[in-house]
């Protein structure tokens, strides 16, 4: 028994509810100040109850049988407590009561929920999204281990305080693969995933109350970084002698002129190039992330890159449109390209998608609804995030116009 846990059993009678001076005997389980009462369905005359020794007074057969029953009950409760500990369960007075009364068979744990969620979502969520869920689940179990000193927790013990505690835990937690603490929006994403899983548990009646009823997810507004015309042109025209960096640059530029994400580019094959309504080549596929279809007319620079790699040994072997490279290596090599071009921004492959939305399309008058379709967004509001960037460009263009007009008037 863990010395840090306070566990006790008390037998008592409810004298205030005595009928004809007889009352039921109760067992009270206490763990770290939390209590649960169990009615033992045995009555005793209140005058014959010894509250100090928690026994029935007298030496007759009835007192002897009742006291023997109390001894057996205490032994059974202690054994129940030990069994639950050996099962690595988060032991609470309510759980001991449920096990003692044979009512805990329907109790499900956090690990049970994770397995159920992941099993039914295999065909519904893309591999990357499931990977994000696995990360959130790992963080949740790390919190449970730290807070409850146990490898798991029962869903019936989830409450609003658990959600707040998990948020606080994430704000100070440093994952082994990060150099810094987790950012606010990433924290909110982990909490959103916990919320979706607990809603699932509520819907399938594994829990009665939803612990998120009073919790509000608060995302911080962030600007989507992108490349300007000059920065994109610098990367396009950069003379690169190292082949791996050439491939990285080409993949990045291809994404800048198509808006296709890394995972979707890696899946592209010649089957995805079809004749569009205008008779020109389009790329048509579905997003890995959401399954939403996207249809993108091929701009000349993107089409030129496809032709460049058509007979490349790596594409002929993989039967893909472009060479394959891990996202981690892509982002690492992009840092080298950014340094060479003296671009101070944190250049990542996903920035190419933002560049397509802003510099290549919206800034050149392509309607937002059209851009939204090409990006495969499920909501126009997702695309509207880029409108703030376009407003900044309008401001810069107007400032240049003011300077030109000022020079003409001089």
Between 379 and 133, name the one with better pLDDT: 133
385 shares its domain with 245: yes
pLDDT at 104: 64
CA distance 282 to 41: 77
Using the predicted structure, report yes or no on whether residue 391 has a pLDDT greater than 60: yes
**Does residue 384 fall inside a structural domain?**
yes
pLDDT at 168: 95
Q: Which of 175-184, 287-296, 337-346, 370-379 has the lowest mean pLDDT?
A: 175-184
How many C-beta atoms lie closer than 10 Å to residue 55's C-beta?
17
264 shares its domain with 344: yes
Structurally, the chain folds into a number of domains equal to 3
- CATH number assigned to the domain comprising residue 362: 1.10.443.10
Mean per-residue pLDDT, 324-351: 91
360 shares its domain with 311: yes
pLDDT at 408: 67
pLDDT at 2: 45
| pLDDT interval class at 181 (50, 70, 90) | confident
344 shares its domain with 242: yes
Using the predicted structure, report yes or no on whether residue 324 has a pLDDT greater than 70: yes
Which of 100, 134, 158 is the C-terminal boundary of a domain?
100
Instruction: Give buried/exposed letters for 76-99 (b at 16+ CB in 10 A, else e).
Output: ebeebbeebbeeebbbbbbbbbbb
pLDDT digits (tens, 9 = 90+) for 211-245: 888 898 888 876 678 899 999 999 999 999 899 99
**Does residue 130 fall inside a structural domain?**
yes
Q: Which of 55-69, 164-178, 335-349 has the lowest mean pLDDT?
A: 164-178
φ/ψ of 366, rounded to 5, equals -70, 125
94 shares its domain with 115: no
Take residue 355 and report the two structure tokens written for it.
């560049």
Between 360 and 290, name the one with better pLDDT: 360
182 shares its domain with 307: no
Take residue 403 and report the two structure tokens written for it.
């300077």
What pTM was computed for the model? 0.58
* 121: containing domain: 110-203
**Does residue 208 fall inside a structural domain?**
no
Percent of the chain whose pLDDT exceeds 90: 49
CA distance 224 to 268: 25
The answer to whether residues 287 and 294 touch, using CB atoms and an 8 Å cutoff, is yes
Using the predicted structure, report yes or no on whether residue 167 has a pLDDT greater than 90: yes
88 shares its domain with 118: no
185 shares its domain with 262: no
272 shares its domain with 325: yes
Mean per-residue pLDDT, 278-299: 88
**Does residue 224 fall inside a structural domain?**
no
**Does residue 153 fall inside a structural domain?**
yes
- Integer CA distances (angstroms), 46 to 12, 24, 62, 120, 388, in order: 10, 9, 14, 56, 76
| pLDDT interval class at 84 (50, 70, 90) | confident
pLDDT at 59: 86
pLDDT at 392: 64
pLDDT digits (tens, 9 = 90+) for 362-374: 888 888 889 888 9
pLDDT at 177: 63
Using the predicted structure, report yes or no on whether residue 190 has a pLDDT greater than 80: yes
264 shares its domain with 384: yes
158 shares its domain with 243: no
139 shares its domain with 61: no
Between 104 and 63, name the one with better pLDDT: 63
Using the predicted structure, report yes or no on whether residue 321 has a pLDDT greater than 80: yes
């Amino acid at each position: 028994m863990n010395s840090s846990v306070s566990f006790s059993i008390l037998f008592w009678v409810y004298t205030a509810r005595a009928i004809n001076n007889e009352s039921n005997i109760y067992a009270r389980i206490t763990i770290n100040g939390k209590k649960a009462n169990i009615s033992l369905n045995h009555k005793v005359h209140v005058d014959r109850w010894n509250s100090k020794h928690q026994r029935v007074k007298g030496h007759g057969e009835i007192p002897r049988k009742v006291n023997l029953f109390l001894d057996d009950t205490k032994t059974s409760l202690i054994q129940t407590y030990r069994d639950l500990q050996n099962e690595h369960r988060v032991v609470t007075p309510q759980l001991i009561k449920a096990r003692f009364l044979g009512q805990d068979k329907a109790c499900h744990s956090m690990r049970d929920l994770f397995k159920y969620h992941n099993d039914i979502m295999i065909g519904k969520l893309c591999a990357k999204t499931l990977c994000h869920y696995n990360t959130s689940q790992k963080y949740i179990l790390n919190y449970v281990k730290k807070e409850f000193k146990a490898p798991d927790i029962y869903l019936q013990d989830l409450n609003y305080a658990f959600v707040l505690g998990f948020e606080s835990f994430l704000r100070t937690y440093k994952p082994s693969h990060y150099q810094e603490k987790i950012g606010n929006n990433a924290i909110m994403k982990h909490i959103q995933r916990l919320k979706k899983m607990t809603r699932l548990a509520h819907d399938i009646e594994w829990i009665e109350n939803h612990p998120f009823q009073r919790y509000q997810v608060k995302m911080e507004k962030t600007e989507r970084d992108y490349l300007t015309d000059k920065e994109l042109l610098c990367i396009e025209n950069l003379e690169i002698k190292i082949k791996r960096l050439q491939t990285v640059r080409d993949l990045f530029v291809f994404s800048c002129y198509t808006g296709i994400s890394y995972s979707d580019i890696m899946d592209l094959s010649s089957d995805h190039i079809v004749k569009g309504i205008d008779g020109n080549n389009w790329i048509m596929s579905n997003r890995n992330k959401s399954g939403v279809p996207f249809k993108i007319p091929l701009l000349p620079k993107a089409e030129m890159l496809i032709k460049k790699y058509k007979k490349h040994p790596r594409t002929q072997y993989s039967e893909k449109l472009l060479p394959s490279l891990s996202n981690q290596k892509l982002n690492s090599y992009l840092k080298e390209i950014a340094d060479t071009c003296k671009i101070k921004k944190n250049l990542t492959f996903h920035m190419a998608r933002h560049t397509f939305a802003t510099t290549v399309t919206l800034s050149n008058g392509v309607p937002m609804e059209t851009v939204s379709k090409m990006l495969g967004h499920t909501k126009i509001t997702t695309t509207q995030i880029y409108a703030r960037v376009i407003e900044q460009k309008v401001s810069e263009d107007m400032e240049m116009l003011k300077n030109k007009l000022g020079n003409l008037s001089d």
